[in-house]
Chain A
Amino acid sequence: MSYLGEGYVLPDPNVDDAPFWANCAARRLTFQRCSGCGRVTHPPIGACPGCQSFERTWIDAPSDARVFSFTWVRTPAHDSVAQSLPYNVVVVEFPELPGVRLISNVVNVAPGDLAIGDALTLVWEAVGRDAISLPRFCKLSG
């Protein structure tokens, strides 16, 4: 059972973000790191904002993840989530990687149990017919 119901809007990988999703399939959450200047950028785009290099490697996300912001969605904007309300959407930050933020969900909390600054740990969910792996998070207790 995944966090959001059936009939998912799945990622449709493009040339720029395909390695991100391929790494997810291998259950690695990664960010684009410029081979030229070392800048880490998310989401993946075709050129480094620091030096315009096209060369990049992929680094693993730090394990220390926090809630930077969140919302509880109460009104569905797509049929797939109509049975999942309310659900949260979280902006995840990584204190060791300033400037990199990731949109995800925290799967083990109810409304009222989520706050900015909460510590999170990465979990993987396989969704859809092709079992695409999506990076999601659990709130760490205490």
Chain B
Amino acid sequence: MRTALFVALVAVVVGVLATAPLSAHHGAAAYDVGKKVVLKGTVKEWIYSNPHCLLTLEVAGEDGQVVRWIVEGQAPNVVFPAGYRKDTFTFGDQVTVTVEPVKNGRPLGRILAAVTADGKTLGAASSQSTTPSVNQP
């Protein structure tokens, strides 16, 4: 099953992310930090809500099997500066979303980048400093 899920992926890139999002609400422990997965799929639902935004996608693999992914962003006020809005994703949209998957192999992840149906490119659905922190060791 796990293998099948990953066959459904368009691309898998493993490596340390230079711009890993700052976790802010529910921690990073669940994530396979550094792994990057690119999903091309059809939007089923976009919940723009606290505590985290949730995007449900159906992604078809090469074998025709469709896998339903749920990927998260931070809360609306956090993702707003990155350009995410309530209507960024709508039912039926064809989108490409780059995610950091969870460790346990389920089709879950957090949004690192997205290309919307109208071709708009968005960055991580998380909070970032506009400049590097000088206060945190």
Query: A and B: real partners?
Result: no
* Chain A positions near chain B (C-beta within 8 angstroms): none
* Chain B positions near chain A (C-beta within 8 angstroms): none
